[in-house]
Structure 1
C-alpha cells in the first residue's frame, strides 16, 4: 500500500505534499479538502493545481541550472 501511495504521489506532481510541508498541515487533509472543493466547484481547482505543478517544475529546473554552472 505504501509503495502504491509513493508512486501516485510522484506521478501527480506532489503539489499537495509540497503544500502540506510548507503550511505544516497533514498531506491527507489537504488532499481530502481539495477533493471536496473540486466536487463542489465542478473541478475548477484543477486549474490552480496544474499551475502550481507547472511552477514547481519550472522552479526546480531553474534552481538546478543555478546550482550546476558547468552545465550548458
Structure 2
C-alpha cells in the first residue's frame, strides 16, 4: 500500500503532499478534500490544476541574486 501511495504521489504532481507539509496536515486528508470537492462541483478540478501549474513553474519566478563573483 505504501508503494502505491508513493507512485500515486509521484505521478500526480505532489500537490497534496506540498500543501500537507505547508499546513501541517496529512496529505491523505487533503486528497480526501479534493475527492469530495470534485463530487460536489467540478470547480475543484480547476483549482487543483492551477495549483499543479504553480508548483511546476514556481522556481522560475524566484529572484536569484547575482553573486559577487559574477561581476
Sort the TM-score into its range (normalised by shorter chain).
0.7 to 0.9
TM-score by length of 1: 0.77
> Number of aligned pairs?
66
Q: Which residue of 1 aligns with 2:49?
A: 50
Q: Secondary structure at the match of 2:13?
A: coil
Bigger-Rg structure (1/2): 2
- 5+ unaligned residues in a row in structure 2: which ranges? none
TM-score by length of 2: 0.78
- 5+ unaligned residues in a row in structure 1: which ranges? none
Quote the offset at 1:44 in angstroms. 1.5
Q: Does residue 2 in structure 1 map to residue 2 in structure 2?
A: yes
